[in-house]
Amino acid sequence: MGCVVYCSSGTRLTMFYNSFYRFHKLQVNGFQVNSLGSAYFRIAGDGYHISHNLSEKSEEREIKVSLEASPHLTNKNGIKLDDSSTPVRDIHIKYPLKNTLHSNSNDKNSSDKGHNTEEEKVSASMPLYKDHIPTNYCQKSILSLGAAAAAILDPRRHDMVAVLGETTGYRALSRIYSEMIQDEEGQQIILDKPRINSSTVDLTYLSKLPEGTLGHYYVKFLDDNKVTPDSRLPVQFVDDPELAYVMQRYREGHDLFHTIFGMPTNMLGEVAVKWIEAIQTGLPMCYGAAVFGPLRFRPKQRQKYLQVYLPWALRVGKSAKLVMNIYFEKRWEQPMCELRDELCIEPPPEL
């Protein structure tokens, strides 16, 4: 199915969608825009319309919206746009759902339902982004149980921890995404979708930054713990391109979280960071690691954990600002003490 919007400037936008209202592609004047991985349709709260916020940078072009355009175009506050020049971003494309929701018509026969079912089957098996593996509820449940068992038996199975985070994190990721788009810096991260790896971050440059800066601290953390930003697995089981990026950002930012919180990668440090992440993100995987991780502590570790690390982590998790909203790539030169003060992060306990 498709919907065509003609704008008075001559721009022709074509949206292609299926019965799940997931976005397939968008064409501008007949040329497909391939960078719209975040774009897909959502059913609006009234149950009768679908709305979508065009927020990709590639869509930020000035157009004149035609009053005769169908479907109606509204801005993010629901106000119908006139013929004045309007940026495409922050525009909602909104159009009626026909024969889908709250329909009282009696001409819906079984063949229509059968056709819709086939469409749903096709859409459910269609990848939404690179590395995506579409799964249904039953498959996700099986993956969750298997990954949880494997991760508990061997916490070093980072691949199983990753799977568990993806198959159980939809609600938490939705909440994180909502908080990010309401924050100016977080919204910019969502728009730019930066990645953290050795090909996107100049580690040599960061190593030459003055001591005490975020960049210098980060490189020192990587060197001291013999870790690399290239070790993070790609997201596969999140059935939403935007939320998949949020999970990828969380995953790639984990070492930076350690850096900011001043925690090493030993068991005490990992569990402390997981408590902060759990409180801030609500990801079930983080809560699981925070609760079950201490079971492997030795007596002296457990005592130190209960007396020092756990109280500190709980305080920081509740008082600190959401670290997912920090655009690290634009803060490499910022002094760490200044960043911690800005985020209301209590100094880490003596290691």
At residue 91, what are phi and psi to the nearest 5 degrees?
-95, 135
In a domain, 104, yes or no: no
Domain with 82, as residue range(s), is 2-96
pLDDT at position 124: 54
Note the pLDDT of residue 53. Answer: 41
pLDDT digits (tens, 9 = 90+) for 151-177: 888 877 888 999 999 999 999 999 999
110 found inside a domain: no
* Number of Cβ atoms within 10 Å of the Cβ of 250: 24
Give the CA angle between residues 100, 39, 197 to the nearest 5°. Answer: 145
pTM summary value: 0.68
- For residue 122, is it within any domain? no
**Number of domains present in the structure of the chain:** 2
* 16 falls within a domain: yes
Question: C-alpha distances in angstroms, 171 versus 111, 165, 270, 311, 318?
Answer: 34, 11, 23, 27, 20
Same domain, 304 and 165: yes
Work out the number of other CB atoms within 10 angstroms of the CB of residue 319: 12
**Same domain (yes/no): 76, 162:** no
Do both 202 and 286 map to the same domain?
A: yes
Together in a domain, 12 and 148:
no
User: Does 255 carry a binding-site annotation?
Assistant: yes
With DSSP H G I counted as helix, E B as strand and the rest as coil, what are the percentages for the chain, rounded to 5?
50, 10, 40
Query: Is 146 in the same domain as 54?
Result: no
128 lies in some domain = no
Within a domain: residue 68? yes
Domain boundary among 96, 119, 152: 96
Query: Is 49 labelled as part of a ligand binding site?
Result: no
Is residue 107 predicted with pLDDT exceeding 80?
A: no
Strands (E) located in the chain: 2-6, 12-17, 23-28, 31-33, 42-43, 49-51, 62-64, 73-75, 85-87, 91-93, 95-96
Indicate the residue among 47, 64, 96 that finishes a domain.
Answer: 96
Determine if residue 78 is left, alpha or beta; phi over 0 gives left, psi from -120 to 50 gives alpha, anything else beta.
Answer: left
The model's confidence at residue 351, banded by pLDDT at 50, 70 and 90, is low
Predicted confidence band at 29 (pLDDT cuts at 50, 70, 90)?
very low
Residue 337 domain-assigned? yes
User: Are residues 158 and 229 located together in one domain of the fold?
Assistant: yes
Q: Of 6 and 185, which is predicted with more confidence?
A: 185
- Backbone torsions φ then ψ of 32, nearest 5 degrees: -70, 135
Judge whether 18 and 123 are in contact, CB under 8 Å: yes
Helices 184-192 and 241-252 cross at an angle (nearest 10°) of 110
254 is in an annotated binding site: yes
Q: Which amino acid is at 332?
A: W
Pair 20, 33: CB distance under 8 Å? no
pLDDT tens profile 257-315: 999 999 999 999 999 999 999 999 999 999 999 999 998 899 999 999 999 999 999 99
